[in-house]
Structure 1
Amino acid sequence: MPMTTDPAPRRRSYRTAAVVVGSAALVVLAVWAAESGWSLRDRRSPFGNWEVVTQQWAPVPPADSPAANEPTSPAPVPPPAQADEGAADEPTPAAPTDRLADRPADRPADLAAPETPVPDAPAATAATPEPEEDEPARQITASEPEAEAAPALLAPTSDQQIRLTFAPLVADAAPAVVNIFTHRTVQARATSPLFNDPMFRRFFGPGMGPPGGQHQQQQNALGSGVILRADGLVVTNHHVIDGAEEITVVLADRSEHPADVIADDAHTDLAFLQLRNVDTPLPTLGLADSDAVQVGDLVLAIGNPFGVGQTITMGIVSAQARSAGGISDYSFFIQTDAAINPGNSGGALIDVDGRLVGINTAIYSRSGGSMGIGFAIPSNMVAAALNGVESGAPGLRPWLGADGQSVDAAMAEALGLGRPVGVVISQVTQGGPAARAGIEPGDVVLAIDGHEVDDAQGLRYRIATLELGTTAPVELWRDGALATVTISVEPPVEDPPRQETVLSGRSPLTGLTVVNLSPAVIAEYGYSGPLTHGVMAAEIAAGSPAARLGVQPGDVVLSVNGRQTDSVTALVDALGQPSGTWQIVVQRGERVLQTVVSGAY
């Protein structure tokens, strides 16, 4: 039988040895503590301070100074600034001005960290006495290890710091953002389920439409809007209410109001509604200066995405003066990464002061949902449109009376500019504001009213947002030097008269409504291309030969069968000549389309 040993005595001996060693260590520690004056009541560890209070390091006094052996306390920090009157008890919203708070304490004065309340220092610590005049405090150099201070990482010490929230801001701004529901009747083609079968499609051919003709169908849409006046004036997007037969606006308190369109401008994609049955003053949003908005500023988007109800999303200003073609004739938008989805159109983009900086308009998306690229019409454009509404002339905007193109890198080098910026003028309208101010072809417009002009879109935007009846300085680059002229801010003139005419007869342009070109007509249709002559297409009758030809409102008919059309009268005369073949030249923006049509009409 194998022999065994009892391990218990060995374990007891190990335990006894551990107790003896531990007791000896405690005795040594107690003796050291008694000699150094440290006790368990002291908040300091025997191996150094364990509680970081401020990280504001004070100069170390000389070793022979009376203050060398005295504990130090951080310099007192003034209490945080009080919020606006009436909001002292509310938690402060997350302020973008505090975004530098995580930098070291030795930052420059203009980047100083926000003042943070500091808890009372422990009783065991005393303030460091000021050094005597004949014994200045020693300055710590970068080579000394004492100067290596860690970045300030302070835990929140107050309810306001812990509860950083946008709730007070949203509570003030959100009631001024409304939901808009529209109803319209559209013509829909009756379809048969058989036409989903490939065999039937192959039999009838790709050009044969399904039978059944047209029928009327009710279509509902939704969007958002912003109350600008307490009497119920609401701004939204043109595309939200375009073609609507009935508009209902739902306020934050769920009350419903019918609304009338009092101004609608497809060129800016803005529309203004007037609510009916408004008995009490409504909450409103004030307009901010969108030119003061900077990339990186914090913004909130408020709207009704997908009809789920009022929703607030947060983001920053991603870019300014962003071009987004096809949305409006003034492609000058604020870009944001705040989530914007279908239903947000017409809603508010606000800053941290609760002011309107833009009207949410469009998104860039491959899926139909937010991808972090949203666009808002700047509030300064909204203000310009609002001035027109309140003055009784909605849609009336200033004009420059000059056209040009953006300066590219090659042009900038040839003109002696340091970088590609501005618009080089190619055409000046006789008698217009630019001509009277002395602007000539070849001049480069660098700035208008103190705002830099980057490109042709920026030039159009800056002119459109000027206040009618005033003057504005224009900075030019002319012959290698800077020059400044002053233009009068005035509406375009309608000269020659419109002479609105509906074309008839047997021609490819039958069903087209045309008007004479004038500065007022060019501005009304938002035409951006260079023009020397032609007739403006105003409306096209559905199903007409002109509609089948592909003519669109805003196109300019330049010639018919080689005959230049300088007026409506000249166009009517050219179309009155019988022809079996028609050659029609149309300008659309900066493109010219020549079409040859054969056959009788």
Structure 2
Amino acid sequence: MISKRTTGFSLLFTIALIGFVTGLTFNFSELHSETSITKPIDLSQNPAVKQLQTFSEGFAVISEAVTPTVVTIFSTKTEKVQQFKFNDPLFDRFFNPRQMPQERKSQGLGSGVVVKSDGTILTNNHVVEGADDLQVKLSDGRTFTAEVIGRDPKSDVAVIKIDAENLPSISLGDSDKMRVGEWVLAIGNPFSENLNHTVTQGIVSGIGRSEVGITAYDNFIQTDAAINPGNSGGALVNLKGQLIGINTAILSRGGGFAGVGFAIPINQAKEVMDDLISQGKVVRGWLGVTIQNVTPELKEAMGLEVDKGILVSSVLANGPSEKAGLESGDVIIELDGKDVEELNSLRNKIAGKDPGDVVKLKVIRDGKDKTVKVKLGELPEDIAEWQRTKGKSSGNSEDLFGMKVKPFNEDFAKKFGLDKSEKGVIVTLVHPNSSIFSAGIREGDLIQKIGKQKIESLKDFKKATENISKDSPVAFYIKRESGSLFLAVNLG
């Protein structure tokens, strides 16, 4: 039997417990209510975020200002296609191959930049080369037929013009002042007309990039701003909205963008453009030498005591450097008082000067410093033709068609892996821009016949080359370490 005292205590405890639970429930609900109405995140007043917004606004302002100066270029080319020929009457009856077209039209897409309000446009040579028709579409939708003012395949620069006035034009920057790490924007028309005026951003990844095999005068700005097919000829601009490069190529294993793009520096492109507009061609300074880098192996083999410089491989007969006294084996260490360390840099600097300019070369000859002043000539369109008409030969060698040959002897046989009993003249140098090089002739080849003339001496070589026709290919029979072969050389 439960006492009344115990019953009263139980009732009191139950009431207290209910009150505690009720109070806990109320407090939890209140807490939950407070946390469910938190405010949205707002970083608009954060100083760091404000800085980013200002930076982003800068990109937008530059893009809006520069985009109207970038144009889309449509090229149409006529290409010849090989006609199918079958000696099969049944095939002729059903397909009539003689009626198949021998020409076809191909379409190309590229970009360009308006550099003058009168419709002058800067682009790449490969965008317009071989085109039968060029159409330029502006950012406002208008389309014009363009004419080619001039092209320079060696630098991959071209200038075209449309009949328009008061066009928005871009201001030119100074590409020599660009530094690795600076922000840049690339603007162009990748892949399709539907993606026109695409803007990408990145930084300058490198400057003075050479020996990448794109042009004869490689000197590129490297960037990681996305450049894709169709961007060629487009604008690379700095954060001042100034043109500092013409987008030209990418380095990629699969054909897509891989973070390595190249643009022609605007200072170089402008020099080419000015020549094309004023003269219709590019006039370049010329030393009249072939040069190569000094490798550690050459340094040791030739006993050169230099840590820098460019080795003169040969001096072209009757050229500017020969007249000035430069010699094969000289090591050029300075150009006009500035150090010379890289081959392409020297070549580009010389090419950027005018014929008639006098340059001062500091060279090392026989271990001693010597200064040679060279009055530059004009770089010939065809080195081989220049040598043929204006060059001269020395008594123990012959310079012709962009190559140098000497009498074959035991030393050459040992050097090039040939039998010392062979007859002919040995090729000791081939100019890379010559038709001889294009035909496949290389240093170390032993020329034994030209046409039907056997070659056993320099006298035979001179006689065989005196009346070579430029209108048709000439057969050169050569022997090299790997065997003998005929090569067709077109000297025209």
Alignment counterpart, residue 385 of structure 1, candidates 272, 275, 279 = 272
Once the two structures are TM-superposed, the CA of residue 332 in structure 1 deviates from its matched residue by 2.4
**C-alpha contact 2:286 2:355 (8 A) present in aligned 1:** no
Mapped contact 2:383–2:402 kept (Cα < 8 A): no
Distance 1:7 1:405, change over 3 A: farther
Equivalent of residue 297 in structure 1, options 182, 187, 200: 182
| Aligned position for 1:398 | 285
Q: Is 2:440–2:487's contact at 8 Å kept on the other side of the alignment?
A: no
1:221 aligned partner: 108
Comparing 407-416 and 3-12, the one that deviates more: 3-12
| Counterpart in the other structure of 1:97 | none
Contact 1:380 1:465 in 2 (8 A): no
Corresponding residue pairs, total: 401
Q: What pairs with 1:63-142 in structure 2 (closer than 5 Å)? A: none
**Which one-letter code corresponds to 2:16 in the other structure?**
P
Alignment of 1:473-552 (within 5 A): 473-478=360-365, 485-492=372-379, 516=388, 531-532=403-404, 551=439
1:186 correspondence with 2:79: yes
Aligned counterparts of 1:162 and 1:297: Cα–Cα separation in 2: 14
Change (3 A) 1:357 1:257: same
Q: Which has the higher contact order (CA 8 A, sep 6+)?
A: 2
CA contact (8 A) 2:78 2:106 kept: yes
**Identity across the alignment (%):** 33
Amino acid at match of 1:294: R
Deviation, structure 1 residue 572: 4.3
Which residue is equivalent to 2:16?
Answer: 9
Residue 171 in structure 1 maps to residue 64 in structure 2: yes
* Cα gap change, 1:157 to 1:377, in 2 (>3 Å): closer
Q: Is this contact kept in 2: 1:516–1:568, CA < 8 A? A: no
| Structure with the higher strand share, 1 or 2 | 2
Q: Deviations over 1:209-244 (max 9, x none)?
A: xx7766322111110112222222222111111211
Alignment of 1:245 with 2:132, yes or no, is yes
- Name the counterpart of 2:306: 417
Q: d(CA) in 1 for partners of 2:365 and 2:243?
A: 38
Letter paired with 2:289: A
Question: What SS does the aligned partner of 2:16 have?
Answer: helix
- 8 Å CA contact retained: 1:403, 1:426: yes
What is the aligned partner in structure 2 of residue 285 from structure 1?
Answer: 170
Distance 1:334 1:592, change over 3 A: farther
- The reply to whether residue 443 of structure 1 matches residue 330 of structure 2 is yes
Q: What is the CA distance between 1:530 and its match in structure 2?
A: 7.1
For the residues of structure 2 that align with 1:330 and 1:552, how far apart are their CA atoms?
Answer: 22
Counterpart amino acid of 2:189? N
Deviation of 1:176 (Å):
1.9
Give the alignment partner of residue 461 of structure 2, picking from 537, 540, 564: 564
Q: By percentage of residues, which structure has more helix?
A: 2
In structure 1, the residue matched to 2:206 is 319
Whole-angstrom distance in 2 between the partners of 1:498 and 1:597: 19
Q: Give a deviation string over 1:372-422, Cα, whole Å, max 9, x none.
A: 11111222321221231233151321111221111223445653334xx43
> Is residue 405–residue 455 contact of structure 1 (8 Å, CA) maintained in 2?
no
Tell me if the contact between 2:157 and 2:273 (Cα under 8 Å) persists in the aligned partners.
no
For 1:537 and 1:571, the matched residues in 2 are separated by 21
Tell me how far apart the structure 2 counterparts of residues 566 and 455 of structure 1 sit (CA, whole Å). Answer: 40
For residue 184 of structure 2, what is the amino acid of its counterpart?
Answer: V
Normalising by structure 2, report the TM-score: 0.67
- Distance in 1, matches of 2:276 and 2:62, equals 29
Q: Deviations over 1:447-497 (max 9, x none)?
A: 435665443222222212224554444444455566555443441469999
Q: Which runs of 5+ in 1 are unaligned?
A: 17-118, 120-152, 193-210, 500-514, 520-528, 541-545
2:321 counterpart residue number: 434
Amino acid of the residue matched to residue 296 of structure 1? G
Instruction: Give the structure-1-normalised TM-score.
Output: 0.56
1:169 aligned partner, one-letter code:
I
Query: Is the contact made by 1:335 and 1:375 (CA closer than 8 Å) also made in structure 2?
Result: yes
Pairwise CA RMSD: 4.7
Q: Is the counterpart of residue 407 in structure 1 residue 294 in structure 2? A: yes
Q: 1: distance between equivalents of 2:160 and 2:109? A: 15
